[in-house]
């Protein structure tokens, strides 16, 4: 396994864990720094034998992640993302989440309904909580049905900041104002 550290982002370090398969780089995990644990330390705790290196493709992904974190509108490709390491359910959740455009959000419940799992909001939340590819697959765009933002691997502060960069606003209690819910058109009524 290899690691590319992305330094000096607005949210601390990020780490891209990757490997080579069929002469092509494959991203197996992206680690976000947490308030109590930076991404590089997390990476070496999880994968002690990492080799610090990069490739042209991984450098491109790292640059795109940094640009995204700085507020630019970046659309990521899934070409080098190792989705095959995920269960079929998690993969379906991640692909549904990937479709949510910048400036829109959805709820765990709406995503579950979109996937045909009527009572699957918690399962969707769990699949997103363990998203191996945060930022590339924008799991910060999924919130709770009550309008609160829910959890995030990089912390709630980071999730809120990312949503604000995308034009999402919050009331004084931390609930999202005037949301544009993706997948809402598939059900009757409002969330």
- Show me where the domains of the chain are located: 2-69, 87-186
The pLDDT tens digits of the residues spanning 151-190 come to 999 999 999 999 999 999 999 988 998 777 899 875 444 4
Q: Considering the candidates 22, 28, 86, 139, report the single residue annotated as catalytic.
A: 139
The CATH architecture of the domain made up of 87-186 is Orthogonal Bundle (1.10)
pTM of the model: 0.91
Residue 191 scores a pLDDT above 50: no
**Long-range contacts of residues 78-87, Cβ cutoff 8 Å, at least 24 apart:** 78/136, 78/137, 80/18, 80/24, 80/25, 80/26, 80/27, 81/26, 81/27, 81/133, 81/136, 81/137, 82/19, 82/21, 82/26, 82/27, 82/28, 82/132, 85/28, 85/132, 86/132
Residues across the chain: 191
Q: What distance in Å separates the CA atoms of residue 124 and residue 138, rounded to the nearest whole number?
A: 14
**Does residue 144 register a pLDDT over 50?**
yes
28 is catalytic: no
* Under 8 Å between Cβ of 93 and 115: yes
22: left (phi over 0), alpha (psi -120 to 50) or beta: left
> pLDDT confidence of 36, banded at 50, 70, 90?
confident
Percent residues over pLDDT 70 in the chain: 96
Over the stretch 81-125, which tens digit does the pLDDT of each residue have?
999 999 999 999 999 999 999 999 999 999 999 999 999 999 999
pLDDT of residue 186: 53
């Amino acid at each position: 396994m290899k690691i590319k550290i992305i330094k000096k982002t607005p949210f601390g370090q990020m780490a891209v864990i990757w490997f080579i398969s069929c002469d092509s780089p494959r991203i197996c995990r992206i680690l976000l720094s947490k308030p109590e644990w930076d991404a590089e330390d997390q990476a070496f705790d999880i994968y002690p034998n990492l080799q610090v290196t990069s490739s042209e493709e991984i450098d491109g992904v790292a640059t795109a992640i940094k640009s995204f974190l700085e507020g630019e509108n970046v659309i990521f490709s899934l070409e080098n993302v190792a989705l095959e390491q995920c269960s079929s359910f998690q993969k379906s959740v991640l692909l549904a989440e990937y479709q949510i455009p910048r400036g829109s959000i959805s709820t765990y419940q709406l995503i579950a309904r979109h996937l045909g799992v009527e009572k699957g909001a918690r399962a969707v939340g769990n699949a997103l909580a363990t998203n191996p590819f945060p930022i590339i697959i924008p799991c910060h765009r999924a919130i709770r049905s009550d309008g609160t933002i829910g959890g995030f691997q990089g912390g709630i502060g980071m999730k809120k900041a990312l949503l604000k960069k995308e034009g999402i606003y919050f009331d004084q209690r931390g609930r999202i104002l005037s949301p544009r819910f993706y997948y809402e058109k598939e059900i009757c009524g409002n969330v």
